[in-house]
Amino acid sequence: MDISTRTRDRVTILAFAGSLDSNTSPAAQQAVDETLKGGATKVVVDCTALDYISSAGLRVLLGAAKKLGGAGASGGFRLFGLNQTVGEVFDISGFSKILAVFNTEAEALKGF
């Protein structure tokens, strides 16, 4: 998996490319930890190149969401660009209901 970070205004965008699974989740966790340690309060995860995610990857996202305040209006964690399989995994696990998921980057950044 490849992980890249960029910032737009005061929002940190983390892009995960490839699979987020038991093998790659430690690297993803490290990227999230470093982002939060750097003082980021608003984080968007770009999933447009994310191939699939398993529960190990969901755990990383849930941890970040908890630290950043979840999906509520004041929450600091958003995602966008899920493919069909990642969307299905989000639906099955209930993450679609508890995380702020958007279709595009523009929608994810709007009003954030």
63 binds other proteins (CB under 8 A): yes
Per CB under 8 A, which of residues 2..41 are in contact with other proteins? 19, 21-23
Choose the stretch contacting other proteins; rule: CB under 8 A; options: 4-12, 27-35, 37-45, 60-68.
60-68
Report the residue from 4, 66, 104, 110 that binds other proteins according to the rule CB under 8 A.
66
In angstroms, the CA 76 to CA 69 distance is 6
Work out how close the CB of 28 gets to other proteins at its nearest, in angstroms, rounded to a whole number: 14
Work out how close the CB of 32 gets to other proteins at its nearest, in angstroms, rounded to a whole number: 13
- Given the complex with other proteins, which of 27 and 109 has the nearer CB atom? 27
56 binds other proteins (CB under 8 A): yes
HEC sequence for the chain = CEEEEEEECCEEEEEEEEEECCCCHHHHHHHHHHHHHCCCCCEEEECCCEEEECHHHHHHHHHHHHHHCCCCCCCCEEEECCCHHHHHHHHHHCHHHHCEEECCHHHHHCCC
- Site residue total, other proteins (CB under 8 A): 29
Q: Give yes or no for a contact between 81 and 47, defined as CB atoms under 8 angstroms apart.
A: yes
97 binds other proteins (CB under 8 A): yes
